[in-house]
Chains A and B, each alone.
Chain A
């Protein structure tokens, strides 16, 4: 009749030394015990509210007992709420998990640190109604829930609902732990050994690795931030990521949010590696392809994955205060996502960007050779991205190409010739400019996408402008000269240049439209890049030629 059964009363009576409690008395006591319990709880809740809390603690019950002039129950006070466990086999029987403590351990344990003293931190919660984005304020958009929850869901053994909130111990077999230690050690120390290659192969193929994925993803994220100036390690880490992505037995999706930042770091970080000789360009290219492959694979599952990536990259690309290396990474990352992304995001910004880039590439403007080299790198990447996009368009609309190119190529020719003497002067007067270019050409093939630049170089050579850039044969140099001419040459030519600039910027801004004329696009790209862009039209022209 009451929720306190009379058996309980009897047990309690025995525990305080009354052994012969008659069952009538117990029967009569039980409703009163329940009423008193409820009364105490009611008072305890009041105390909880006045302590401005929403969780009842043992202290509240003590003060409630105090209010009723009852001796408090000693030994349960603690700052944390009590943790109850459900007794196995009973629906609603709970007990407090009271672990055995080894006396020796308690004595030998070092003294705990003194608790920190209370202090006040002041910040603006809002300024004229707008919340500033500072770390003291809650983030405006809800973050992705941490992987911990998912992990505990995967590994929970017994579905006791009470225990869900307790930290779940993650049981890893001894073998897996060894494996993990070995792999991480290899990654950090022996990244160029054959053993590491074997390890990568194992990571890409072994089936039993899934329990390790959270640890790997944490390790990668952690290690990338730690060894930003150690290029080989970064590279090794990215290779591990690639292997993990390749492994068909691993369900990697829940950990992507942890891996993506690392990849993006390796793509657009300002400095990767600490030596000048470090070939961080290669790492950037590698990470760009990695990130793009992730987008291709999981883009349909997480719709905002690609948009978030492109947003980050575009942000890096459009910020003039960012370093050239970051721009390079951003361009490569966007280019790896496919021609349509290039068309949507890079091409509309191409012209203003080149205007910014150009002084960086010129000797007289940028004295730092390193920086100049970087600028040329960026230029190459831009050219490649734009060219690939153009190539893609041409393939789609081969018919559109031919008629408009002709007049344009003619006019182009005129411009090219008009700029020719200047160019000669330029290259003649500044022979120092060439060495970096040459180096660039040498560096080119070592990149992960060597095919495009090479065809560009050779193609320009074959196009029939051998006289322009005498020794190197790199189309880019001529175009840079031409662009610089447009801005530096005399009055009449500048007018023309401005006309052209407006025209082509309109063509570029229109580039995102599906039905844009590929020819216009080509023309405007030609304006910016010069003949180098023709290399990308080659197959079509070849087919026409045939």
Chain B
């Protein structure tokens, strides 16, 4: 009566919308329902059993199918499995859902362990609503690529066996992308079936957006190179560029007065043609973009010292490996949460779970304690704010202010400021010159997991358990931008070298790239199987590396949004990643007590050539060197401007 009306309406709707298969399924089901209207088996029993039987039949069919197409068909199983389970839960068959889950979970443990662990806890329809993973899975469709024949096989099977439950699930939740020709190779599978919260469609749309990954025009590196090429030119040809150079000299000399912007324009006009020439270095190959943020003015002395560093930079390659200096924290009593090293390696900061932040001046460590002692006391009497020196023996400056474990710290490029983020949901700015707290930035609602200074200083970005990332400037106590979109905690954050983008890694296993100016998400990188713990951007701004809790490192091409190659090698969490200054070597530090050096040039170069081809040749980056520490997990890596690698970690008792 009433039911029949509804059924009719539904059928009519389906007809109108041309949902042929669903209609078929519904009719079939209805027929079955009416035919067995007076069954001896109670309905709930059969309902639960339908899922169980249907899935197990589909599974055995897929496993016994043709070898060539098997891996494609097996891919279908996982979404079907998950949705069967969730359907059962939604319908209230708790017990049956449990048994179903445990009977078949083994198949998918290898690929989707973490998701399964989460879903295992779903025990009532409410939980489905509450858990973001389940919710997004229910709402979105999974894309699966199949070749024509596999698709035919699947359809034939479903129709022949009248497996309507399965057909229903497949229709509802899977979106087949049927491609003509041969099935895709197995190696490509890995990231295809990672079921993400956000649907692939959205990710794809987002990834269509344009990303200007180039470097800032008029960076110091560029200036140095230009100086080089100029001098060469001067030597080679007649003194043609002499006036130009003179002009530069004069501008450089009088920089304190001249505003930077003007200076920049001068340079751009003067050196438009020269970019082409200096293609020897990797950095200069990157296209130039304009900065969307107003950049802070750099003091001349600092600029001079940086230029000096750049001139003395050691060129690293697979043959010339970096020297690595290791700062070991001892007697931390398991309390060290994070560490940071300034760009010149002279300052080392550690954030502790007892809310304290300690800063060591490495250049003073070797000196006699006494001189340091008296110095400290004198300062203390002068300055009340100097908290560190009430006890003269301390070798460090103690910064107190946070009221929860300190989870991250970062030095500004010139080392005079230090930022720390804490579980008390604040970020604090400290001055290493005055040894005191300057600002407390409040904005996040939950623990702030990570904070990073921008490459030019002044601006910084933070990310938090509240699933947002925020961009701040030092002079404002409110955030400038809030980036929302991640489906779970945002665990790490990194600036793009040109300061126009930030990237964030999250517990939802994705990495996103955000436009700082517009606050939009411009890339979603899908492929990690665990929470993303560390990020690094290559100095030419084209590539990004991300490390997760399983020990996998992925290198992404920002412009295509694709994974260049996954790097397997670490056996535990990758806490930190760093590119060398010219981008030839990637260093990774992990909880498995190793620092690994990867050759980045080896695989990038060929890739640039066949960039246009979509053929997915995964060429792995070469592992150059494994440096074993003495039971010390590596927390921080930092290449100095001269390409010396500083690393830090806390000695853990074995």
Query: Given the complex of chains A and B, what is the CA–CA distance between A123 and B635 in angstroms?
Result: 16
Q: Which residues of A contact B595 (CB under 8 A)?
A: 125-126
Instruction: Kindly state the separation between the CA atoms of A34 and B123 in the bound complex, as whole angstroms.
Output: 8
Please indicate the chain B residues that have their CB under 8 angstroms from the CB of A53 in the complex.
Answer: 334
Interface size class of A (residues with CB under 8 A): 35 or more
B365 and A51 contact, CB distance less than 8 A? no
Asked if B449 contacts A50 (CB within 8 A), the reply is yes
Contact of B365 among A34, A38, A39, A120 (CB under 8 A): A120
Question: Does B370 interact with chain A (Cβ within 8 Å)?
Answer: no
State the B residues within 8 Å of A (CB).
Answer: 94-95, 98, 117-118, 120-124, 127, 320-338, 348, 350, 352-353, 358, 360, 362, 365, 393-396, 405, 407, 423, 446-447, 449, 465, 489, 491, 507, 531, 533, 549, 572-573, 575, 591, 593, 595, 597, 624-625, 627-631, 633, 635, 647, 650
Q: CA separation between A59 and B467, bound complex, in Å?
A: 22
- CB of A338 within 8 Å of the partner chain: no
Stretch at the interface among A9-17, A93-101, A129-137, A508-516: A129-137
Q: Are A118 and B332 in contact (CB under 8 A)?
A: yes
Q: Is A42 an interface residue (CB 8 A)?
A: yes
Q: Are B549 and A49 closer than 8 Å at their CB atoms?
A: yes
CB contacts under 8 Å to B, within A379-419, are none
CB pair B591 A124 closer than 8 Å: no
Most buried by B among A118, A123, A136: A118
| Number of A-B residue pairs with CB-CB distance less than 8 Å in the complex they form | 165
Q: What B residues does A59 contact at CB under 8 A?
A: 353
Closest to A134 in B: B630
Give CA–CA (A67, B449) in the complex, Å: 13
Instruction: Report whether over half of chain A's contact residues are helix, strand or loop; otherwise say mixed.
Output: mixed
Judge whether A123 and B328 touch: CB under 8 Å: yes
A49: chain B residues within 8 A (beta carbon): 491, 531, 533, 549, 573
CA distance A80 to B333 in the complex (A): 9
Q: Which residues in B have their C-beta under 8 angstroms from that of A125?
A: 324-326, 595, 627, 629, 647
- Neighbour of B325 across the interface among A80, A116, A122, A128, CB < 8 A: A122
Contacts A1-B94, A51-B337, A123-B328: A42 and B118 contacting too (C-beta < 8 A)? yes
A104-131 contact mask (Cβ, 8 Å, vs B): 1 or 0 = 0000000000011111111111111111
Contact (Cβ within 8 A) B465 A121: no
Q: Are B358 and A118 in contact (CB under 8 A)?
A: yes
Q: Which of A67-89 contact B (CB under 8 A)?
A: 67, 79-80
> Are A115 and B123 in touch, CB under 8 angstroms?
no
- B628 and A124 contact, CB distance less than 8 A: no
Nearest Cβ distance between residue A42 and chain B, in whole angstroms? 7
A122 to B362, CA, bound (A): 8
In the complex, whether A63 has a CB less than 8 A from a CB of chain B is yes
For A129, the chain B residues whose CB sits under 8 A away are 320-323, 597, 624-625
Q: Is the CB of B630 within 8 A of A136?
A: yes
Min C-beta distance of A67 to chain B, whole Å: 6
Residues on A with C-beta less than 8 A from B625 are: 126, 129
Given contacts A51-B407, A122-B328, A124-B326, 6 further A-B contacts (CB under 8 A): A120-B330, A121-B330, A125-B627, A129-B320, A129-B597, A136-B630
Contact A121 B396 (CB under 8 A): no
Q: Which residues of A contact B124 (CB under 8 A)?
A: 31-32, 35
Q: Do B591 and A52 touch across chains, with their CB atoms under 8 A apart? A: yes
- Provide 14 A-B residue pairs closer than 8 Å at the C-beta atoms, listed in order of the A residue: A49-B573, A59-B353, A63-B405, A79-B333, A115-B333, A116-B330, A118-B333, A120-B327, A120-B348, A120-B362, A122-B326, A126-B324, A129-B624, A138-B628
User: Smallest CB–CB gap between B510 and chain A, Å?
Assistant: 16
In the bound complex, how far is the Cα of B127 from the Cα of A2, in angstroms?
A: 14
B575 touches A67 (CB 8 A): no
A119 contacts B395, C-beta separation under 8 Å? yes
